[in-house]
Protein backbone atom coordinates (compact mmCIF):
# COMPACT_ATOMS: atom_id res chain seq x y z
CA UNK A 1 0.00 0.00 0.00
CA UNK A 2 1.57 3.20 -1.20
CA UNK A 3 -0.65 5.81 0.53
CA UNK A 4 -1.55 5.32 4.16
CA UNK A 5 -3.16 8.64 5.14
CA UNK A 6 -5.47 11.22 3.64
CA UNK A 7 -2.72 13.83 3.63
CA UNK A 8 -0.43 11.60 1.70
CA UNK A 9 -3.08 11.15 -1.02
CA UNK A 10 -3.96 14.84 -1.28
CA UNK A 11 -0.93 16.81 -0.31
CA UNK A 12 -2.03 20.22 0.98
CA UNK A 13 -0.02 23.08 2.03
CA UNK A 14 -0.36 23.46 5.80
CA UNK A 15 -0.36 27.26 5.49
CA UNK A 16 -3.33 27.14 3.09
CA UNK A 17 -5.22 24.95 5.53
CA UNK A 18 -4.57 27.39 8.39
CA UNK A 19 -5.62 30.37 6.22
CA UNK A 20 -8.84 28.59 5.27
CA UNK A 21 -9.60 27.96 8.93
CA UNK A 22 -8.85 31.61 9.81
CA UNK A 23 -11.11 32.83 7.00
CA UNK A 24 -13.86 30.55 8.24
CA UNK A 25 -13.48 31.90 11.77
CA UNK A 26 -13.52 35.50 10.49
CA UNK A 27 -16.71 34.84 8.46
CA UNK A 28 -18.34 33.22 11.48
CA UNK A 29 -17.30 36.13 13.70
CA UNK A 30 -18.67 38.65 11.19
CA UNK A 31 -21.96 36.75 10.94
CA UNK A 32 -22.28 36.65 14.74
CA UNK A 33 -21.43 40.35 15.01
CA UNK A 34 -23.99 41.27 12.33
CA UNK A 35 -26.64 39.15 14.04
CA UNK A 36 -25.90 40.70 17.43
CA UNK A 37 -25.99 44.20 15.98
CA UNK A 38 -29.33 43.50 14.31
CA UNK A 39 -30.77 42.15 17.57
CA UNK A 40 -29.44 45.17 19.46
CA UNK A 41 -30.98 47.53 16.90
CA UNK A 42 -34.35 45.80 17.19
CA UNK A 43 -34.15 45.97 20.99
CA UNK A 44 -33.32 49.70 20.90
CA UNK A 45 -36.28 50.37 18.59
CA UNK A 46 -38.64 48.41 20.84
CA UNK A 47 -37.43 50.24 23.94
CA UNK A 48 -37.71 53.59 22.15
CA UNK A 49 -41.28 52.94 21.00
CA UNK A 50 -42.31 51.65 24.43
CA UNK A 51 -40.65 54.63 26.12
CA UNK A 52 -42.42 57.06 23.82
CA UNK A 53 -45.72 55.40 24.66
CA UNK A 54 -45.08 55.62 28.38
CA UNK A 55 -44.06 59.27 28.10
CA UNK A 56 -47.19 60.04 26.12
CA UNK A 57 -49.36 58.46 28.79
CA UNK A 58 -47.70 60.37 31.61
CA UNK A 59 -47.06 63.62 29.73
CA UNK A 60 -50.21 65.37 30.85
CA UNK A 61 -52.53 64.40 33.64
CA UNK A 62 -56.07 63.71 32.50
CA UNK A 63 -58.57 66.49 33.07
CA UNK A 64 -61.31 65.27 35.31
CA UNK A 65 -64.85 66.58 35.05
CA UNK A 66 -64.47 68.26 38.44
CA UNK A 67 -61.71 70.55 37.20
CA UNK A 68 -63.65 71.86 34.19
CA UNK A 69 -65.72 74.91 35.00
CA UNK A 70 -68.75 75.56 32.81
CA UNK A 71 -69.99 79.06 32.23
CA UNK A 72 -73.15 80.31 30.56
CA UNK A 73 -72.50 83.32 28.35
CA UNK A 74 -74.51 86.37 29.44
CA UNK A 75 -75.75 89.13 27.10
CA UNK A 76 -72.86 91.51 26.33
CA UNK A 77 -70.13 88.97 27.21
CA UNK A 78 -67.15 88.56 24.91
CA UNK A 79 -64.33 86.06 25.04
CA UNK A 80 -62.03 88.86 26.18
CA UNK A 81 -64.32 89.82 29.07
CA UNK A 82 -64.76 86.17 30.13
CA UNK A 83 -61.01 85.54 29.93
CA UNK A 84 -60.15 88.64 31.99
CA UNK A 85 -62.59 87.56 34.73
CA UNK A 86 -61.55 83.89 34.92
CA UNK A 87 -57.88 83.59 33.88
CA UNK A 88 -55.08 82.99 36.39
CA UNK A 89 -53.58 86.19 37.76
CA UNK A 90 -50.36 86.42 35.74
CA UNK A 91 -51.54 84.72 32.56
CA UNK A 92 -51.79 86.59 29.27
CA UNK A 93 -55.43 87.07 28.34
CA UNK A 94 -54.79 86.02 24.74
CA UNK A 95 -53.39 82.67 25.89
CA UNK A 96 -56.47 82.04 28.03
CA UNK A 97 -58.78 82.95 25.14
CA UNK A 98 -56.92 80.44 22.96
CA UNK A 99 -57.49 77.82 25.67
CA UNK A 100 -61.23 78.59 25.71
CA UNK A 101 -61.37 78.33 21.91
CA UNK A 102 -59.57 74.98 21.89
CA UNK A 103 -61.43 73.32 24.77
CA UNK A 104 -64.79 74.29 23.28
CA UNK A 105 -63.88 73.65 19.64
CA UNK A 106 -64.95 77.14 18.58
CA UNK A 107 -64.40 77.87 14.92
CA UNK A 108 -64.84 81.61 15.26
CA UNK A 109 -64.18 83.72 18.29
CA UNK A 110 -67.69 85.04 18.72
CA UNK A 111 -69.96 83.85 21.51
CA UNK A 112 -73.71 84.21 21.95
CA UNK A 113 -75.81 84.74 25.06
CA UNK A 114 -76.96 81.42 26.51
CA UNK A 115 -74.02 79.49 25.06
CA UNK A 116 -72.33 77.19 27.59
CA UNK A 117 -68.52 77.35 27.58
CA UNK A 118 -66.02 75.16 29.36
CA UNK A 119 -63.15 77.11 30.91
CA UNK A 120 -59.68 75.58 30.66
CA UNK A 121 -58.10 74.51 33.96
CA UNK A 122 -54.80 76.38 33.85
- Whether the pTM exceeds 0.75: the reply is no
Evaluate if residue 10 carries a pLDDT over 60: no
Q: How many CA atoms lie within 13 A of 50 on its CB side?
A: 6
Share of the chain above pLDDT 70, in %: 72
Closest CA to 112 of 82, 68, 69: 82
Closest CA to 113 of 71, 78, 75: 75
- Tens-place pLDDT, residues 60-75: 555 555 577 899 999 9
Q: Does residue 57 or residue 34 have the better pLDDT? A: 34
What is the mean pLDDT of the segment spanning 33-42? 90
Backbone φ, ψ for residue 71 (5° rounding): -135, 135
**Cα torsion 110, 111, 117, 122: sign:** positive
Share of the chain above pLDDT 90, in %: 42
Amino acid sequence: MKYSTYQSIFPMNLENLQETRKEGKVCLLQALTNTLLLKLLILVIIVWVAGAGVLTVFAAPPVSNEEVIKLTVQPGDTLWKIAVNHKPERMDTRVYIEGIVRINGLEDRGVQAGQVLKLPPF
